[in-house]
Each structure stands twice: as C-alpha cells, then as structure tokens.
Amino acid sequence: MTREDGQRAAPSIALEAGQQALLSVGSLKSPLSELPQSGADSLLVVSSTAPADLEDELATLDRDPRSVGHIPISGSDISYDGPMWTCDPLVPDDLTGLSMRLSTAMQGLEADRGWVMFDNLNVFLMYAREERVLRFLDHTMGLARERNLRGVYAVVADALDEQTYDVLRRTVDVELDRR
C-alpha cells in the first residue's frame, strides 16, 4: 500500500479480540487513521477532540459516525447534536467519573468486535498523578479484556520520560510505533 507521496504506508492496526495495544504516534498524527476500516463499526473514543471535530475526522477517514461513541475530555461544556453517541465532558483528572462512563459505554460495544481507543494518554498524565493513571489504565484494560474488546491507547512517546513509557509498554499485549 502506498500513500499519495509515494511512500509505503504502514498497514492498519491488526489486533485479536481482547488484545490491548500501546500506539506511539507523532504529535500531529491522529491515531484514528491507524484503525482498520472495520474498527469503526463498534468504536468508543476517549478524546479531548470536540465531538463535531471527531465526526469530521471520521468522515475524512470514510468511517460512519453512527457506530461511534465518544467520551469527551474537556474542561468546557460541549454542544453536539450529531449521529455519534456522546456524553457530558469530563476533566482529565476525573478518572473515577471516566471509569464509570467507560464501564457503561463498553456495554454498548459488540463483544469480540468492538474497539476502545484513547487518542492521547499524555493528556491524563499531565493532569493526574502517574500512579493513578496507571491504575486506571490497568482497570480499563481489564474491562476491555472481559468483554473481548480491542483496546488502543495512543501516546506521543517523545513527550514522555523513558520510565513512564516503559511502564505503559509493560501493561499492554502489543506495542506499535507509528511515529
């Protein structure tokens, strides 16, 4: 597969049901572009991207937003009236509230087919203590594995210290570098 600029494009992410992956991306790259086309058929995205912008990004990638749920991470109120399921935004350090929303939202994903994507873990690491974020991720991955959901946890690895990245890498089944 080649891109418009003639460079060979990396294949989309291929995960078995229940696998959890750490995805390293560049600071300007959207991790959504790494999902296989079927990944948007039953997808939950945790993102600081506004719902309307996320819907536009999905359209650009030729993905149907009607099968996508979105948990927005923001300190501001968000108004959205579109086809994606969404909820009130959460601030990045409200990991308890996020855990409750994730638990409920994951029930709406198809077991064995669904995907959970965190498009930028760096946001959480900026606002909450690292130990809390790591415990939260361990819990989240456990929920995803119980439902046999694929999980993708994107980071801008170049913005993390090596020790933090190593700890994150040890919590997942697969490590992917798409920088």
Residue 10 lies in a domain: no
Do the domain assignments include residue 146? yes
pLDDT at 37: 83
Question: How far are the Cα atoms of 12, 22, 122 from residue 178, in angstroms, in the given order?
Answer: 10, 11, 16
Alpha helices (H) along 21-94: 51-60
Asked, for residue 14, whether it belongs to a domain, the answer is: no
- Backbone CA torsion sign across 104, 109, 111, 114: negative
The predicted pLDDT at position 28 comes to 78
Q: Is residue 97 part of a domain?
A: yes
Return left, alpha or beta for 18; rule: phi > 0 is left, psi -120 to 50 is alpha, else beta: left
For residues 129 and 150, give the distance between their C-alpha atoms in angstroms, rounded to a whole number: 26
Answer whether residue 78 is part of any domain: yes
Residue 64 forms part of a structural domain: yes
Q: Which amino acid is at 121?
A: L
The Cα 7–Cα 119 span in angstroms is 24
Query: Can you give the CATH number for the domain in which 163 is found?
Result: 3.40.50.300
Reported pTM: 0.90
Structure confidence at residue 10 (pLDDT): 57
Q: How many CB atoms lie within 10 A of CB 72?
A: 21
Mean pLDDT of each 10-residue bin along the chain, 179 residues long: 47 91 89 86 94 94 93 90 94 96 95 95 95 96 96 94 94 93
Residue 121 domain-assigned?
yes
For residues 139 and 11, what is the distance between their CA atoms, to the nearest angstrom? Answer: 29
Range of the domain at 90: 20-25+35-178
d(CA 52, CA 8): 31
Contact call for residues 133 and 124 (beta carbons, < 8 A): yes
User: How many structural domains comprise the chain?
Assistant: 1
Examine residue 12 and state whether it is found in any structural domain, yes or no.
Answer: no
